[in-house]
Structure 1
Amino acid sequence: MKRILQLSLLLFVLLLAFQVDGFSQGKKKKSDTDKYFDESGNFASKLWYGGGFTLGFSGNNFESVFQFGLSPIVGYKITENFSVGPRASLVYIYYKAETGTIDGVESTNLLNYGIGAFARYKIARTIFAHVEYGFDNEVSTLGYNSISRKWEVNRRLNNNAYIGGGYNDGNGVWGYEIYLLYNLIQDDTSLNLPFDIRFGVTYNF
């Protein structure tokens, strides 16, 4: 009887050992893809997030324009100081103006949007260099159509190649930044200035 109990106990210990070993092997055989996207694989820890905003109002005796926009950005840290990633922008425009017709003052809702890719390098803890290439789809009003009783608009796709730098003041988690960019391929026929000043907040930068 004692021998049977000893054999049973030995068998139980061996089975437990095989299960623990099998579980360990299963963890070791986790795919490289799972490790890459897992927090323990350092993918998520190398991401940083940011976002800028646009808020503006202008007007005169004939027209008024209100703008509100957001521009999210996500960076991946290839090294501690060098990161790359995508950036997008979306700007809502409320346009209101005198039509010069019996309709008087009419308004319309417009939308600008863009997408691009950037690279950023930390020169110092708070100073960084920034380059970016992207496309902006911008809308402008041509005039008021008294037949359709709508503002006629025109869309234009612009290519932009920005270079510049900025200042980021953060504690390693949340921070704010301001940076100035210059468009190297600004269209000579465009009324936009080649300079772009941006403000925003960052997380984990």
Structure 2
Amino acid sequence: MKHSLLPLLLLVAAAASLPTFRAQAQDNKPVLNSAPPGPPPAPTRPVTPAPATSPATPAPTPTPAPATDPNQPAAEPTPSAPSGLDFPDRKTTKAGGAEDTPPTKKFLYANFGLGYSSIDGIGNFSTSLAPAVGFRITDKFAIGPGISYAYNNYSLSPESFYNTYGYPYNTPNGSLTASGSNSFSNSSLGLKVFAQYIVYKEFFLHGEYEVTNAQLAGYDNQGYLIKINRTVTSPLAGIGYRSYLGEKAAIDFVGLYNFSNSIFSLYPGLNLRFSLLFNIGK
């Protein structure tokens, strides 16, 4: 009886475990995706690298103020500096000024002159050119030698002569020269020395003495104007103003009076000159 029940129990146990095996088989079976296909994935956007940052500039290190020397006396106020402090180069004005030390001891000096005078109806127009070399004896006083060239033109104005004297020019044909011309010119070459003294800032006194182998105007026995060769001395003096163009150059405006003035002088009574100054050397 026991032997006939044993196969029956094994069969019942097998039948009971069959559903569990089928469930495990269903769980292990792959599941197919039955959903509709979606849109394609978006392309990957390239990543832009961040710009490199420049290194920060370090802040400047402040310069420490110079230490005050305890042995140095305190600044005292003056009329030109009420606070007691003075600016750098406060006392320096224009280069080469009267209150400054000139930049050099030597200079080139060239002048160009114009002048006009009229005596007895004869006008005298004069131009001159005179280069020289100057030497500064002190900061304010200078002297130097030079050469000079002068050109004179004499002209006769009959109309003004008639109005003044009431009769024509007293030559046989009423002209300035025997050739019948009312214009007469000559030229001269000479040597000179000059001196200058700075009075105040840009203002200075100027004097010179010139000895010239000159061609002068004279009369012949008929009253005509002729050339006369003669050695002429010309003492001139006056005042000038200097305009600076920097440390190396300046322009002088000078008015001079000729103390030996006459119609036959090399220079008329009043001379206006424009001179160029160039500092040279050390």
State whether residues 121 and 128 of structure 1, in contact with CA within 8 Å, keep that contact through their aligned partners in structure 2: yes
Q: Deviations over 1:133-180 (max 9, x none)?
A: 22232421546x9xxxxx841133332333322101012212211112
CA distance in 2, matches of 1:92, 1:107: 13
1:79 is the counterpart of 2:138: yes
The residue number in structure 2 matching 1:165 is 239
* Contact 1:70–1:89 under 8 Å retained in 2: yes
The equivalent of 2:197 in structure 1 is 121
Q: Identical aligned pairs, as a percentage? A: 27
Do residues 140 (structure 1) and 217 (structure 2) align?
Answer: yes
User: Residue 80 of structure 2 aligns with which residue?
Assistant: none
Superposed displacement of residue 84, structure 1: 0.7
Letter in 1 for 2:249: W
* Pairing of 1:46-195 with structure 2 (within 5 A): 46-54=105-113, 68-93=127-152, 110-136=186-212, 137-140=214-217, 142=219, 152-170=226-244, 171-184=246-259, 186=260, 190-191=262-263, 192=265, 193-195=268-270
| Structure of larger gyration radius | 2
- Give 1:86 shift: 1.1
**Maintained 8 Å contact 1:165/1:181:** yes
Counterpart residue type for residue 46 of structure 1? K
Q: Deviations over 1:48-69 (max 9, x none)?
A: 11212246899xxxx9988653
| Contact 1:96–1:105 (8 Å) recurs in 2 | no
1:34 is matched with: none
Root-mean-square deviation (CA), in Å? 3.8
Distance 1:54 1:83, change over 3 A: closer
Q: Distance in 1 between matches of 2:144 and 2:153?
A: 31
Aligned 8 A contact 2:249 2:276 in 1 = yes
Pairwise CA distance, 1:120: 0.9
- What corresponds to 1:204 in structure 2? 279
Richer in strand (by share) = 1
Q: Contact conserved, 2:243 with 2:250, CA < 8 A, in 1?
A: yes
C-alpha distance in structure 2 between counterparts of 1:71 and 1:159, whole Å: 15
Deviates more, 1:82-91 or 1:155-164: 155-164
| Matched letter for residue 174 of structure 1 | A
Aligned equivalents of 1:116 and 1:160: distance in 2? Answer: 9
Q: 1:55 to 1:119 in 2, by over 3 A?
A: closer
CA contact (8 A) 1:127 1:168 kept: yes
**As a proportion of its length, which structure holds more helix?**
1
Contact 1:141 1:152 in 2 (8 A): yes
- Aligned mates of 2:206, 2:153 — CA distance in 1: 31
CA distance in 2, matches of 1:155, 1:142: 13
What CA deviation, in whole Å up to 9, does each residue of 1:83-137 have, x standing for no partner? 1101321124577996777x66598763122322111112233111122222232
Q: Contact 1:81/1:122 (CA < 8 Å) preserved in 2?
A: yes
Q: How far apart are the structure 1 equivalents of 2:141 and 2:216?
A: 34
Distance 2:197 2:132 in 1: 15
Q: What SS class does the counterpart of residue 139 from structure 2 fall into?
A: coil
Q: TM-score, normalised by structure 2?
A: 0.42
Gaps of 5+ in 1: 1-44, 146-150
Look up the equivalent residue of 2:130 and give its one-letter code: S
